[in-house]
């Protein structure tokens, strides 16, 4: 729905959402978040996404140690070189992208199953299985390249259900006016995981060998999985730690009508321009993100000549900025809606497109500068400002179709996973000699894709509940409220006419 359509139907939408906004809790939300079970779910989801990305990015640093040439001096004083795995740039690109071959296959499946058995089970099992496979990664790598690729593909297969799975959780746990902050805080775990995993992977690889990278993060993931299964349930009505008042508050604000079978309107979904705008934006953000996620350590070491320890630390800096700004953007997005300064559509559009324009500019600056200091500064700003985009497209599924959000995320993330496959392979073919001119092409491509995503989202995004996504109960309520509004207006006209007659 466009702004013009929103303005035409503004009174109607205000009436529909007004009742939800008036619902309050006797104990309002404060800084003591642990008193609200839904924020315990957010905290656990934060650490879940911490594991999602720490398990994903550790290879980006470990592969540098696995393939670096080490100087070896024998007993006679002869100097030679050795490396654990003699992979060339194309093989490394294949390894880094192999995760996404599995990841792209289970996006839709994760969203569909999440609506059936509960997003908590899908989200948790996806991460737990990936953690167990991570523990087996050193064994697979030493066996053969083919076995290593197979394990990474299977890891991606299990981790592919996580984003659709968490949207099934939000559909049951997040009140509309808290969606941005709850989702943004949880998604900040992605970047906290990246911030911790990159320097720690560099330290572990240097101090204890590259194998330790997989053992440490795999163990952390298994511990989280057990904790998640104990403390997080599919919905508030199933959670013994959630108070009756909080459960009723959540269900009334989201219009929850029970766990009945959800029928997805496939034709309406695949003809919705608002949904295609989210998909285009998600693809654009992931292209820039995955390009840096998989290639930044190599770029810093091979082109800007940082050593492995500094590479891990500097690679983490942009994601530290994004993790911090995610919490800010989520709170600001909700605040602007609560205060009535911007509509939901305006918040999503302005946050998303503003971030994309900034990312376009700073990616191009990185391409032109290619300086050790300024490249890191520009990339930090580019990645950091992407936090505002996550308060745009990433929660937009819950605005337009909350009951179908996990399926929409599954479909959209399938398309948005293509950059994870194509980008590392493209970089492997373009960046052969590790020259500045080769890297400049990579950054220009990312900037252009950000710009295209910005234009599509600006014209077609919506923050309104779509007509095809409304439940029969919501449609009946709207019809009743509309009838009451018409009666009120008719009574007003009658009274005015009577006054004029007098």
Q: Which whole-number Å values give the CA distances from 410 to 74, 406, 465, in the listed order?
A: 55, 6, 19
Looking at residue 25, its pLDDT comes to: 65
Asked whether the predicted pLDDT for residue 19 surpasses 60, the reply is no
- The better pLDDT of the pair 3, 21 is held by 21
Asked whether the predicted pLDDT for residue 501 surpasses 60, the reply is yes
Asked whether the predicted pLDDT for residue 210 surpasses 50, the reply is yes
What confidence tier does 92 reach under pLDDT thresholds 50, 70, 90? confident
Scored b (16 or more CB within 10 A) or e, 455-484 reads ebbbebbbbbbbeebbbeeeeeebeeeeee
Tell me how far apart the alpha carbons of residues 183 and 402 are, in angstroms, rounded to a whole number. 13
Asked whether the predicted pLDDT for residue 148 surpasses 60, the reply is yes
What confidence tier does 498 reach under pLDDT thresholds 50, 70, 90? low
Tell me how far apart the alpha carbons of residues 280 and 262 are, in angstroms, rounded to a whole number. 26
Tell me how far apart the alpha carbons of residues 210 and 63 are, in angstroms, rounded to a whole number. 8
- The better pLDDT of the pair 200, 22 is held by 200
Mean pLDDT of 383-391: 89
**Cβ atoms 179, 20 nearer than 8 A:** no
Asked whether the predicted pLDDT for residue 51 surpasses 90, the reply is yes
Mean pLDDT of 44-66: 89
The helix (run of H) or strand (run of E) holding residue 73 is: strand 70-73
Q: Which CATH superfamily is domain 268-470 in?
A: MFS general substrate transporter like domains (1.20.1250.20)
Mean pLDDT of 146-157: 93
Asked whether the predicted pLDDT for residue 7 surpasses 60, the reply is no
Query: What average pLDDT does the chain have?
Result: 84
Q: Which whole-number Å values give the CA distances from 101 to 2, 33, 104, 288, in the listed order?
A: 36, 38, 6, 18
**Topology agreement, domain 32-254 and domain 268-470:** yes
Asked whether the predicted pLDDT for residue 171 surpasses 80, the reply is yes
The ranges assigned to domains in the chain are 32-254, 268-470
Looking at residue 72, its pLDDT comes to: 63
Tell me how far apart the alpha carbons of residues 203 and 210 are, in angstroms, rounded to a whole number. 9
SS3 (DSSP) at 81:
strand
Looking at residue 326, its pLDDT comes to: 86
Identify the weakest region by mean pLDDT among 3-17, 38-52, 192-206: 3-17
Residues 6+ apart with CB under 8 A from 420: 97, 99, 100, 103, 104, 286, 290, 294
Mean pLDDT of 262-272: 91
What confidence tier does 71 reach under pLDDT thresholds 50, 70, 90? low
Provide the CA 296 distance to its chain's centre, in angstroms: 19
Long-range CB contact pairs, 67-72, < 8 A, 24+ = 67/92, 68/308
Which CATH number describes the domain made up of 32-254? 1.20.1250.20
C-alpha Rg value of the chain to the nearest Å: 25
What confidence tier does 6 reach under pLDDT thresholds 50, 70, 90? very low
């Amino acid at each position: 729905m466009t702004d013009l359509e929103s303005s035409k139907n503004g009174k109607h939408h205000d009436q529909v959402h007004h009742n939800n906004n008036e619902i309050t809790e006797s104990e309002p939300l404060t800084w003591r978040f642990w008193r609200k079970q839904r924020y315990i779910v957010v905290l656990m989801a934060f650490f879940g996404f911490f594991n999602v990305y720490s398990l994903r990015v550790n290879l980006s640093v470990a592969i540098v140690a696995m393939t670096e040439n080490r100087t070896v001096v024998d007993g006679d004083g002869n100097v030679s070189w050795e490396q654990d795995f003699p992979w060339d740039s194309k093989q490394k690109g294949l390894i880094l992208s192999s995760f996404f071959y599995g990841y792209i296959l289970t996006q839709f499946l994760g969203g569909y199953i999440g609506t059936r058995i509960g997003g908590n089970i899908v989200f948790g099992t996806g991460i737990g299985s990936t953690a167990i496979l991570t523990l087996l990664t050193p064994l697979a790598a030493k066996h053969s390249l083919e076995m290593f690729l197979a394990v990474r593909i299977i890891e991606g297969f299990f981790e592919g259900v996580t984003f659709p799975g968490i949207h099934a959780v939000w559909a049951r746990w997040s009140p509309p006016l808290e969606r941005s902050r709850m989702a943004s805080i949880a998604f900040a775990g992605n970047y906290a995981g990246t911030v911790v995993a990159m320097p720690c992977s560099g330290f572990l690889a240097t101090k204890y060998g590259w194998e330790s990278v997989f053992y440490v993060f795999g163990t952390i993931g298994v511990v989280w999985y057990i904790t998640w299964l104990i403390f997080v349930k599919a919905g508030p009505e199933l959670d013994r730690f959630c108070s009756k008042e909080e459960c009723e508050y959540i269900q009334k604000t989201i219009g929850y009508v029970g766990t009945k079978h959800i029928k997805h309107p496939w034709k309406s979904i695949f003809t919705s321009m608002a949904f295609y705008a989210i998909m285009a934006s998600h693809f654009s953000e992931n292209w820039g993100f995955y390009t840096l996620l998989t290639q930044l350590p190599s770029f810093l070491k091979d082109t800007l000549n940082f050593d492995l320890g500094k590479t891990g630390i500097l690679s983490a800096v942009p994601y530290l900025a994004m993790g911090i700004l995610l919490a800010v953007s989520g709170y600001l997005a909700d605040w602007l809606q609560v205060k009535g300064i911007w509509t939901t559509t305006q918040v999503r559009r302005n946050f998303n497109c503003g971030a994309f324009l900034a990312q376009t500019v700073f990616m191009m600056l990185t391409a032109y500068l290619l300086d050790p200091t300024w490249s890191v500064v520009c990339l930090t700003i580019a990645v950091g400002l992407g936090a505002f985009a996550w308060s745009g497209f990433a929660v937009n599924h819950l605005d337009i179709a909350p009951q179908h959000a996990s399926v929409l995320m599954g479909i959209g993330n399938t398309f948005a996973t293509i950059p994870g496959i194509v980008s590392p392979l493209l970089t492997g073919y373009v960046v052969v000699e590790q020259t500045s001119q080769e890297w400049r092409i990579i950054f220009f491509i990312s900037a252009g894709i950000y710009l295209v995503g910005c234009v599509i989202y600006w014209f077609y995004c919506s923050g309104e509940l779509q007509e095809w996504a409304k439940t029969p109960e919501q449609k009946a309520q709207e019809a009743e409220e509309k009838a009451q509004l018409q009666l009120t207006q008719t009574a007003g006209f009658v009274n005015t006419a009577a006054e004029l007659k007098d």
